[in-house]
Structure 1
Amino acid sequence: MTEKKEHPSIAQFKEFVKKHPKLISEVRKGDKKWQELFEDWYLLGENDASWQKYREDAAEAESAEDKKSDFMSRMMTAVKNMDANQMNQHLYNMNNTISSIQNLFSTFGLTKGASSGQSKTQSNPFSFRKD
């Protein structure tokens, strides 16, 4: 297979788009086309003031990373502080509660199998009577 080598300016434009991620959303919304953006970038250059609104602020990027790392650290702390015996006891109690509820349903005939079984015996499609 032959590989196409892309023009160096296209590679530079791709790097520019990575630095300005809001351009992608503009194209996806249909407000801009890649060809238009490439031509503007080629003519105006990377440092033009018109590109500032498409640049993701460094503070926004850092705050997103901080939120992710903060969430992960809180999750790890919660896992470390968990008592395995206490969790096991809670699961055991929950299992017993569910079993009790299932037993109540089966005692009062509230299960799906019991209600459909009764209706089959009552409505026999071939009922014969003596004359």
Structure 2
Amino acid sequence: MDEQEKQALCEEVGRRVWRCRKEAGLTREALAERLGSSTQYIGDIEQGKKCMSMAYFIRLGSIFNISLDALAYGQREPGAAAGRMLRRMEEMTPLDRGLAAHIILKAADLVRAMESEDG
């Protein structure tokens, strides 16, 4: 990989970090605190001025709850969270599974109602 390709990759990943941070409702300060870094470093990553270490990359995936593929290449797994919920629910008894589904549906209704109030 030549320097131009590396720079383009850093810029693409930086844009995804910025987008994920915004979607998570985090300020640069809050993200820096969670990562144990500086706000300047976060800004440099988001602007493509610096490429982050693998340790930060992995921690960001965890903070944003996305796969490393999604962070690196922008490929979000459709329904990844739903898949995790379904796997967890498969371990439950039928009664507990029904209760969990009811709670999740009620929470989704509340989120939808909050979104319509904001919009």
**Which TM class, normalised by the smaller chain length?**
under 0.3
Comparing both chains, which one has the higher relative contact order based on Cα–Cα distances under 8 Å and sequence gaps of 6 or more? 2
TM-score scaled to structure 2, two decimals? 0.24
Greater radius of gyration (CA): 1
TM-score scaled to structure 1, two decimals? 0.22
